[in-house]
Structure 1
Amino acid sequence: MNQVLTPMLEDPLSGVSEKAASMLANRKPNYSLEQPFYNDERIFKLDIREIFEKEWIFAGMTCEIPKKGNFITLNIGDNPIVLVRGAEDKVHGFFNVCRHRGSRLCVTEKGKVAKLVCPYHKWTYELDGRLIFAGSDMGESFDLNAHSLKPVNVKVAGGYIFVCLAETPPDIEEFTQSLEHYLEPYDTENLKVAVQSDIVEDCNWKLVIENNRECYHCNGSHPELLNSLQQFDDTDDPLATPEYKDLVARKQKDWDDMRVPYTLKYFGKRNRMTRTPLLDGVVSMTMDGKPACSKLMGRITSPDMGSLRILHLPNSWNHWQGDHTIVFRVLPLGPQKTLVTTKWLVHKDAVEGVDYDPENMRKVWDATNYQDKVLAEENQRGINSIAYQPGPYSETFEFGVIDFVNWYSERIIENTRKS
């Protein structure tokens, strides 16, 4: 029996993680990754284990679960997760897995429940994960307390919900404290999702992030987006023009008067935030540059807030404006398949058809997301060729991509070493 079971219990990535870490440690600086990092099933499983199961992952927004019993679900690799608002407004996170025979508890993307009840055999859990009912057939010695739901680490900050599946998650306290500070003006608990888009892209998740981290491609691909977006987001950008720097100085004076944070902040290569103007005379990411929602968020008094851009690797980028917010979440589905979810948020009291038109609100980023999908998928098709070899990044246009690939490489090497 042991001879049969032993191979099954061995690490299926044995040898792969060491080889991958070695390739990353010895890769040519400022070049794209070797082909297997974009299309190999084993490297994909390594990414899930060493990145998505060990790092803090953006899961959702607190405004999506505003009241006790509201829940949302997501999948991180093969791990179904449920986030639920419990007593005293606390957000709980659990593996969405019944402790009886492993069935998923919550089978919809979102909903509202009094208790968490397994649809298979009706085992019932309190919203804090405690098992409170398992029927009368488990025997008198059965210990309910020993079968609570398995928790995941949850960090709530500035309306964001981050989860980490690791037993000992990395420290992101400095980032979450800054997130609270930068998002204070928006009263994030009192927002709602006005529109949501889910797109499956036939490419590796890293290609989705790489595409987002540069605007080298914007002039040729994103006419709708460039109606409002600056191609750089801070005055230290080597491409920043004098006109942009003058605009920044004027807008920052206005933002100072409103007591709204804007300073560029980096948190290693992983997280950054900065408020930058949209094009002069433009106040929102819409086709005409006018507000998409007439009811502003939080204590914001002017729609002319530029865009507060927030990056969180490995799976989120965001644009906070005066009238509405756009949050993006990336979740890997396979070596060449990625789910990109976009949510447009507005004040919770904004009325559809009165204060905002959802079709107008989403038009720019619907177009941009589709264009990026085509670009990333064509990128993947080329990488799959026997002709592919790593190519050089532009240090001027693609420094954000360089930072991402360096961060990814560092995390794989360090997390593999700890495994």
Structure 2
Amino acid sequence: MTKVPVTHIDNALIDREAIKTMLARRIPDHTLEQPFYNSEALFRIDMEEIFAKEWIFAGMTCELPKKGSFVTVDIGLSPIIILRDNNNDVRAFHNTCRHRGSKICLGAKGKSPKLVCPYHQWAYDLDGELVFAGSDMGDDFDKSRYSLSPVHCRTAGGYIFVCLAENPPPIDDFVNDMNYYLEPYDLDNAKVAVQSEIIEKANWKLVVENNRECYHCDGSHPELLKSLLEWDDDNDPRSTPEFRDLVKKMQAFWESQDVPYKFQMRYENRNRIVRTPLKEGTHSMTMDGKVACKKLMGRFTSPDMGALRILHLPNSWNHGMGDNLIAFQILPVGPQETKVITRWLVHKDAVEGVDYDPNNLRHVWDATNAQDRTLSENNQLGVNSMGYQPGPYSKTFEFGVINFVNWYCERMAANLGE
């Protein structure tokens, strides 16, 4: 049995130097040492070195339909406001008043011509500029020095990404990819038909690892496997001749529809996009494989679009069909607690009860999310054991997990070295 080659580091002693030591000695293609999955100190460093320095999926542009529309998201201890300003641009700010630091926007979403702090009524314009602080600050008070603190924000094909770092890592190539692959969906003219939020009592990395493989699918996801084929493309060494034939057939059809499909990976495994077939004869991730929404998205004229699979590390995976798109977002809450948010998007003109049934739309992934929660929580309970040792990944079935763990370790090492 393979064992960790040096002495175990007590959780109470975890600091940046200890993490560097564990990264340097990690066994390739194996799970990480226990503190990466359950240490409070290491979790705080995850939030500082990964979630505060990488680009984070934060929402959809269609959630900001009008000037003054806003949504909020908490990235660790940092609450963020994302809004559509008076120039119709999407911007992001720290959700903390420049007076005494109170949280300004308390709800998950809303619409307002100004952002008014509920504590002392300081008010900010949609460009973050302080426009009212009352008369009690004195005649020499300079409002221009106390605008909201901005957060780096980029939109890409209808998705919103934010980065808390002063100097964010590159994202331009991925933005261009997203604009290209998502053009047929016209997500600015979509709507969130259904949204769910669940808490998984598991470390965020275990949640992502579970998503990055379908090794467990056959024994755990009967609803999902009514439509899903586990292979991304015909380069997968496990793919069958029948699957490769189906890929060729569907790619020829997508080409005739001017719909992008080719595999693309960016930034050392951080981002990957590919359109892949669903099971032949199925058009959507529903129990019967039929469309969940009669009104197709964007410019699609056929529902036979397979699934556009999009990965964005560290916190999102996605499936886009011809009739709906499912966007998954994770937000770490604690060392053994992760919020998983699922959005089901349809055409903005689709009518509930006429074009789609929300229960049918969400049924498969509600079941799958519940099953994945159980798997991840059981994984966490086992990892917490004093008997846990890093174990080997399957290079065939779990190559996606290996890619994720390699990306995480490389980014953590690079960010720690800054």
Shorter-chain TM-score bucket reads: over 0.9
1:324–1:344 Cα contact (<8 Å) kept: yes
C-alpha distance in structure 1 between counterparts of 2:188 and 2:87, whole Å: 14
Q: For residue 67 of structure 1, give the secondary structure of its aligned residue in structure 2.
A: coil
1:93 aligns with 2:97: no
C-alpha distance in structure 1 between counterparts of 2:350 and 2:201, whole Å: 35
Q: For residue 302 of structure 2, give the secondary structure of its aligned residue in structure 1.
A: coil
C-alpha distance in structure 1 between counterparts of 2:146 and 2:251, whole Å: 54
1:188 aligns with 2:187: yes
Pairing 1:295-314 to 2, within 5 Å after superposition: 295-314=295-314
2:14–2:42 Cα contact (<8 Å) kept: no
Match of 1:7 in 2: none
2:47–2:76 Cα contact (<8 Å) kept: yes
2:81–2:105 Cα contact (<8 Å) kept: yes
Q: Give the deviation of 1:26 after TM superposition.
A: 1.6
1:25–1:409 Cα contact (<8 Å) kept: no
Match of 1:10 in 2: none
C-alpha distance in structure 2 between counterparts of 1:87 and 1:25, whole Å: 49
Match of 2:320 in 1: 320
Amino acid at match of 1:96: N
C-alpha distance in structure 2 between counterparts of 1:389 and 1:269, whole Å: 26
Pairing 1:137-148 to 2, within 5 Å after superposition: 137-148=136-147
1:177 aligns with 2:173: no
2:72–2:107 Cα contact (<8 Å) kept: yes
1:245 aligns with 2:218: no
Q: For residue 410 of structure 2, give the secondary structure of its aligned residue in structure 1.
A: helix
Match of 2:148 in 1: 149
Match of 2:118 in 1: 119
Q: Give the deviation of 1:85 after TM superposition.
A: 0.5
Pairing 1:19-418 to 2, within 5 Å after superposition: 19-267=18-266, 268-418=268-418
Q: For residue 47 of structure 2, give the secondary structure of its aligned residue in structure 1.
A: helix
Structure 1 residues 59-88: Cα deviation after superposition (integer angstroms, max 9, x where no partner): 000000111011000100000001010012
C-alpha distance in structure 2 between counterparts of 1:255 and 1:369, whole Å: 29
Amino acid at match of 1:117: V
Structure 1 residues 282-303: Cα deviation after superposition (integer angstroms, max 9, x where no partner): 0000000000000011111111
Kindly tell me the number of residue pairs found equivalent between the two proteins.
406
Gap runs ≥5 in structure 2: 1-11
The RMSD of aligned alpha carbons is 0.9
Q: For residue 152 of structure 1, give the secondary structure of its aligned residue in structure 2.
A: strand
Amino acid at match of 1:238: P
1:39–1:335 Cα contact (<8 Å) kept: yes
C-alpha distance in structure 1 between counterparts of 2:185 and 2:13, whole Å: 47
Amino acid at match of 2:308: L
Q: For residue 156 of structure 1, give the secondary structure of its aligned residue in structure 2.
A: strand
1:197–1:342 Cα contact (<8 Å) kept: yes
C-alpha distance in structure 1 between counterparts of 2:259 and 2:208, whole Å: 28
C-alpha distance in structure 1 between counterparts of 2:391 and 2:412, whole Å: 21
1:73–1:80 Cα contact (<8 Å) kept: yes
Q: Give the deviation of 1:25 after TM superposition.
A: 2.0
Amino acid at match of 1:180: N
What is the TM-score of this pair, normalised by structure 2? Answer: 0.96
Match of 2:4 in 1: none
User: Equivalent pairs: percent with the same residue?
Assistant: 63
Gap runs ≥5 in structure 1: 1-12
C-alpha distance in structure 1 between counterparts of 2:269 and 2:113, whole Å: 41
